Structure formats: C-alpha cells, structure tokens
C-alpha cells in the first residue's frame, strides 16, 4: 500500500495557480470519476479550497500513482502545461500524508492559524469521495481520524479561541458589553468593503434593527437590502446616532465625521444610555474625546488590532501542544493501517495454506477411492470446505479483532504472531509493511 498527497497551497503557489488547479463544485465529481478511471483499484479524495488544492491517493504498491502520474493527470484534466504549475507542487508520501492531513484538519497549515472552516472543508471533501465511491477502507480510516484529531486539537489547545480580524474582534467586544441584541439598534457608518464585512459578522448577533448610513444613499440601500437593514441618508446621521446602541464606523473620510460637541448633543438626546462605539476607520471617524463622556465606550481600530494580536499570540501558544497531539495520533493511525495490511496478508496466507492442505488431502482421498462418483466427490469436497471454514472462523475473527486493537508502533501484534506460529506460518515470509515513511 502506498499513500500520496500532491497539490498546492497558499505557501507554495500564488492565487492564479491555485485557481487554475481548483476542482470547483461543478468539476469535483468529474475529477474523482476521472481519477478512478485513470487509476483503477486506488482510492482518492480531492480537497479544493480557496487556499489549497490537494489530491490524496492510496493504492497497492504496484498500482498506486506516483508523483509523475498524478501530475500528468492534473495537467490533462485541467488542460494546463506542466510548466504552469509543476514548480509549485508539494508532495507527501505514506506516513507524511497522514501527518500533513492531520495538520491541515487542525488548521495549523491554514492562512489564518486556528480558523474553523477547514475542518468542515475536509469533511465535505471526504463525503464527496464517499458519494462518488472514490474512498475505500484506507481513506475511511485516515479521514475519519483526521476529523477526530482536528476536533481534538481545538478542544485541547484552544487554537480556535479569540477572533483575529478587526471586524470579528469588534463583534466579540459588543457581545461582552451587551447581554442581548434583540432590543438593540446597530448603526454601521460606511457601505464599503469593511462595512459589508462587519455586517456579515453582526448578522450572527440577530440585532433588533440595523441602520446603514453612507454619503451615497444608493450604496447604503444596496447593502441594507443584502443584510435586511434600513438605509439612512447621511443628513440624518445625528438621528441615527441617537437611536443606536452600537455604532461601528468604517468610512474613509479624511477627518472625523462626528465631533466632540456634536456627540455631546447626541448623548444628551439619548438620555445618557450606554453607547458602544467601535471606530475602525482610518483616519478616525469619531473625535477621541468622545470616549471620555459618561456611558460612552469608544474603541479605535488600534485597540481592536491589539486585541486581535493578543488572540493570535494565544493561538500560537497552542501550536506546540497541537503538534504533539498530531504526532502521537499520526503514529497511531499509521500503525493501525500497517497492522490492517499485515492482518490482511496473514488472512490470505492462512487461507492459502488451508486451501493447499484441503486440496492435497482431497486429491489423495479421491486417488485412493476411484469408485467414488462425481456426486460423491462433490459432496466430500463441499464437506471439507465447510469444515475448513468452520475451523478457521475463530482464528480469522481473532486476527481481524487484533488488527483494530491499539498496540505500540512498529511492534508486531502478539495475536498475529501467535497465529503464524500455531498454523505453521512462522517460516512463511512475513509481509513487510507496505507503508514506509519517505523523508
């Protein structure tokens, strides 16, 4: 058995190469079908995201595709010349495939450390392979373990705790200030990219009302329609500030759009209700002195970036514990694969040896009793086959059970060793592990 992972990611290839090699939703099924047709008897999973495109392959040592064969397939399938992507390809072999996949599922190799989306993407890639009958017993074991390890790393290390973007940190801060948002009015000033991104995060809070203010009312209306909000003309900004409990300002104005004196009047009209203002614009949209007013909490983009950096620092502290978990789980998974292969070969040896003995004895019996009819011979042969299967039933079950039990890496399982000795297979060549780490 051989394992291979071949592809590109955000570290090895620019976006143009990743896009050219991507297996989009419309092409993923066709890609898996083409892989099965090109390399019969092998298993495949294709992981295709914005930041990585990887083909995972598993198959018999004498039939599994190598790097050149898989690279040729990618070239032909996408209609690309080798020199357009070959220098960006990264490959992993055998045990390194398992470790790489576990790191990917744990988001250690993501563009954003600790992001949670990749685990779902790995799950969908595996499901797609199962649906197309491209995944078999090897990848059932490897990918199910990868999903478990990815979840385990998050639970044990807190790698996914704390947001890393300014917009998401702003929303997290809002959660700390307000217990509920069902009765709150949220005001977003600015309808550009940052404003739209902020609204994407805000939607999860389910606020009672969303107001969008922009100098261009048409853009505000377009954004409001996308996020079920209400567009407000820029001339009515003061009234929107009076109504709002949470303000997120994202404009690109050259100078503050809300002065200290202006907000004093706003806060007076608000009857001094608590206001949270998250000014993530550069330059600032709100006069910094507004933060000194009673019942007003004003945070600038630098405050939010500092929090994001602290969150990233905490995530980085989880990298080493995560790698320790992954190293341990990789060894365990790979050992189980090797033991499953060893057990399969042992079962074939056991069956072949029993078949040889049965056929030899039947031949001796039939030669010594030439008077037996064809019906007699068939009945005796059927009885001998049933007797053989019944006699081997428990040894076979013990071997299969032993193959799934935990045991030290690189150590032969005692049950497998015992079966070899008990059935005279000790002198038969013990199959070498078909999976060997290539460095």
CA distances from 285 to 111, 118, 205, 252 (A): 31, 35, 24, 8
145 and 178 in contact (C-beta within 8 Å)? no
Pairing verdict, β 209-214 and 90-93:
unpaired
Under 8 Å between Cβ of 242 and 270: yes
Distance CA 258, CA 284 (A): 9
Q: Is the peptide bond before 113 cis (omega within 30 degrees of 0)?
A: no
Whether 333 is catalytic is no
Q: How far apart are CA 178 and CA 268, in angstroms?
A: 21
CA dist 236 and 30 (Å) reads: 54
Among 15, 30, 50, 252, the one annotated catalytic: 50
Cβ count near 93 (within 10 Å): 19
Strands 90-93 vs 2-9: parallel, antiparallel or unpaired = antiparallel
Which helix (DSSP H) or strand (DSSP E) does residue 238 occupy?
helix 237-243
Q: What is d(CA 201, CA 341) in angstroms, rounded to the nearest whole number?
A: 48
Sign (positive or negative) of CA dihedral 97, 102, 107, 109: negative
Distances (CA, A) of 360 to 143, 200, 269, 353, 371: 44, 75, 102, 11, 19
Q: What is the DSSP string of 397-436?
A: HHHHHHHTS---TT---HHHHHHHHHTT-TTSPPPPPS--
95: left (phi over 0), alpha (psi -120 to 50) or beta: alpha
- Catalytically active residues are 50
């Amino acid at each position: 058995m051989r394992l291979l992972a071949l592809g590109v990611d955000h570290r090895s290839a620019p976006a143009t190469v990743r896009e050219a090699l991507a297996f989009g939703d419309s092409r993923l099924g066709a890609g898996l079908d083409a892989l099965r047709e090109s390399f019969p008897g092998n298993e495949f999973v294709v992981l295709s995201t914005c930041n990585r495109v990887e083909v995972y392959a598993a198959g018999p040592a004498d039939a599994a595709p190598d790097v050149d064969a898989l690279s040729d397939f990618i070239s032909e399938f996408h209609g690309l010349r080798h020199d357009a992507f070959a220098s960006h390809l990264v490959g992993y072999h055998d045990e390194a495939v398992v470790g790489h996949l576990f790191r990917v599922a744990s988001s250690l190799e993501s563009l954003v450390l600790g992001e949670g989306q990749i685990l779902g993407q790995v799950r969908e890639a595996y499901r797609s392979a199962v649906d197309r009958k491209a995944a078999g017993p090897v990848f059932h074991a490897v990918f199910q373990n990868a999903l478990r390890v990815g979840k385990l790393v998050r639970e044990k290390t807190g790698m996914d705790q704390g947001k890393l973007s300014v917009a998401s940190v702003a929303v997290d801060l809002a959660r700390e200030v307000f217990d509920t948002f069902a009765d709150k009015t949220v005001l977003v000033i600015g309808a550009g990219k940052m404003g739209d991104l902020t609204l994407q995060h805000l939607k999860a809070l389910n606020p009672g009302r969303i107001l969008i203010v922009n100098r261009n009312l048409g853009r505000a209306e377009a954004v409001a329609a996308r996020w079920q909000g209400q567009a407000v003309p820029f001339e009515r900004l003061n009234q929107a500030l009076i109504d709002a409990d949470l303000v997120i300002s994202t404009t690109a104005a050259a100078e503050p759009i809300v002065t200290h004196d202006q907000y004093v009047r706003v806060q007076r009209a608000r009857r001094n209700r608590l206001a949270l203002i998250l000014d993530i614009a550069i330059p600032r949209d709100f006069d910094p002195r507004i933060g000194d007013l009673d019942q007003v909490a004003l945070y600038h983009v630098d405050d939010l970036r500092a929090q994001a950096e602290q969150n990233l620092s905490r995530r980085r502290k989880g990298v080493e514990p995560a790698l320790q978990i992954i190293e341990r789980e990789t060894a365990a998974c790979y050992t189980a694969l090797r033991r499953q292969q060893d057990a399969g070969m042992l079962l074939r040896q056991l069956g072949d040896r029993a078949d040889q003995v049965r056929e030899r004895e039947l031949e001796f019996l039939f030669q010594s009793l030439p008077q037996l009819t064809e019906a007699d011979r068939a009945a005796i042969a059927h009885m001998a086959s049933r007797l053989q299967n019944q006699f081997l039933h428990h040894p076979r079950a013990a071997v299969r059970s032993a193959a799934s039990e935990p045991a030290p890496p690189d150590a032969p399982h005692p049950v497998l060793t015992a079966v070899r000795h008990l059935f005279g297979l000790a002198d038969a060549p013990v199959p070498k592990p078909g999976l060997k780490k290539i460095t």
